[in-house]
Amino acid sequence: MTEMSRPFDATEPTIDTEPTIDSVPGTMLEPAKLGVRRGWLHRGLGPGRAACPGGRRRSVNRRRRQFSLLVMRGDGVRVVRFNFARPLAVAGFVALAGVVSVMGALIGDWIQLRQLTRESVTFAAQIAEQRKTIDDFNHRVADLRKEVGAWRELHARIQEPFGPDVGRGGRDRGIGGATTASARPASGVSPSDELNRLSETIMQEGENLRALDRLMARAGKALAALPSRWPVRGAVNSEFGMRQSPWTKAPEFHAGLDISANRGTAVHAPAAGTVVFAGTQPEYGNAVIVDHGQEIKSLYGHLSQVAVQPGQKVERGTLLAYSGNTGRSSGPHLHYEILVKGRAVNPRAYLWD
């Protein structure tokens, strides 16, 4: 009986030859060479025979529910094969995906942490720079406070001789006024705002001082032209005003001061001015008249010698003449008069030193 017509014996073992990489020539897992032996194929497919026993079907189904992992060498030879059931493979894949997701999240957090660390270092440097700027502002504000205090003290010292109303309501407007509060720091005010306010206060005080300086310049010129110095040093023999005439013993008006001075005593200008007269008068003998401006003039009589000429500019302390006994005089002395708008006034009202 040929092999194709042999009756199928259920007890005859069948050999399921599963080809390996070593036994398969050519490419791996060729479909034509992954079958059973020819005899089994002929016997299994004969007429009236069962296509496959039940055990074989279960084995095939079980293998279909598995996943295989092959570990191979570089020359294509299989080294290790791992079989996994489908649920286990799915669970492993899910676990692997979870691990990859967690690792990705951790890596992302690590990258973000590094970025935050760099930003925190940058912010720390910026904060340190801002603190330094604030410290500089505070030092500048403290310096400006001291400067404002010094300027106010100087302002008060300059303004004191002129009274509290100097500079108000005239050409020197802006002097004085309530500015003390501007130098005090207000609560809740930033250092930059306080710095700006103090700078404005200093500018205001500077304008006040410049106005006072202009006033002092004018006052200085007025003081320099004011005959406030004694022309000679000596006792006053006769005061300004009514007196008994030394010749007639009758009451008479004395228009100046008679200052005791030996003949030849130097007579100095009490203030700056211009000599408007240097010559002889019937009553005063040799005399000098100096115009000090502002309609103020000074007269010096009974001189022995004149040292200036009309039109000459003189300063305070300039030598004008020498005392004597010329004119209507009872003895060597200096007759000294002050005339304001042509009228004689008491010289003591101008003599400060």
Distances (CA, A) of 275 to 267, 288, 311, 345: 14, 7, 5, 20
Domain boundary among 224, 254, 269: 224
Lookup result for tokens 């306010």: 197
> CATH number of the domain that 313 lies in?
2.70.70.10
Residue 313 inside a domain? The answer is yes
**pLDDT value of residue 249:** 84
Same domain, yes or no: 177 and 271: no
Cα dihedral across residues 237, 327, 304, 290: positive or negative: positive
CA distance 170 to 172: 5
**pLDDT value of residue 40:** 41
CA distance 263 to 74: 141
Same domain, yes or no: 257 and 187: no
Query: Encoding tokens for residue 351?
Result: 């003599």
Please report which residue ranges of 229-347 form alpha helices under DSSP H: none
Cα dihedral across residues 245, 251, 255, 260: positive or negative: positive
Same domain, yes or no: 215 and 266: no
Count how many Cα atoms sit within 13 Å of the Cα of residue 46 in the half-sphere of its side chain.
Answer: 15
Same domain, yes or no: 216 and 310: no
Same domain, yes or no: 282 and 345: yes
Same domain, yes or no: 249 and 338: yes
Do the bridges between strand 319-323 and strand 313-314 make them parallel or antiparallel, or are there none, so unpaired?
Answer: unpaired
The residue count of the chain comes to 353
**pLDDT value of residue 288:** 97
Same domain, yes or no: 245 and 339: yes
Residue 31 inside a domain? The answer is no
Residue 344 inside a domain? The answer is yes
Residue 129 inside a domain? The answer is no
CA distance 282 to 150: 59
CA distance 126 to 130: 6
- Which residue, among 301, 303, 274, has the nearest Cα to 290 in the 3D structure? 274
Same domain, yes or no: 266 and 334: yes
Please report which residue ranges of the chain form alpha helices under DSSP H: 38-44, 54-64, 86-159, 191-224
Residue 112 inside a domain? The answer is no
Same domain, yes or no: 220 and 253: no
**pLDDT value of residue 19:** 45
Residue 284 inside a domain? The answer is yes
**pLDDT value of residue 170:** 41
Bridge partners (DSSP) of residue 251 are: 244
Domain boundary among 180, 199, 224: 224
DSSP SS3 for 276: strand
- Which residue, among 292, 280, 291, has the nearest Cα to 321 in the 3D structure? 280
CA distance 58 to 66: 13
CA distance 23 to 20: 5
Same domain, yes or no: 254 and 218: no
Same domain, yes or no: 219 and 240: no
CA distance 266 to 264: 6
Same domain, yes or no: 152 and 242: no
Residue 319 inside a domain? The answer is yes
How many helices and strands, by DSSP H and E, does the chain display?
Answer: 4, 14
**pLDDT value of residue 184:** 47
Domain boundary among 191, 224, 257: 224
CA distance 62 to 46: 26
- Cα 339–Cα 342–Cα 345 angle in degrees, nearest 5: 35
Q: Could you tell me the residue range of the domain that residue 272 belongs to?
A: 236-349
**pLDDT value of residue 50:** 46
Q: What are the pLDDT tens digits along the chain (353 aa)?
A: 444 444 444 444 444 444 444 444 444 444 444 444 444 444 444 444 444 555 555 555 555 566 677 777 667 666 677 776 777 777 877 888 888 888 888 888 889 888 888 888 888 888 888 888 778 877 877 777 787 777 777 767 666 655 554 444 444 433 333 344 444 444 556 666 766 777 777 777 777 777 777 877 777 777 777 898 999 999 999 999 998 888 788 898 999 999 999 999 999 999 999 999 999 999 999 999 999 988 999 999 999 999 999 999 999 999 999 999 999 888 899 999 999 999 999 999 988 76
Q: Please tell me the total count of domains within the chain.
A: 2
Residue 41 inside a domain? The answer is no
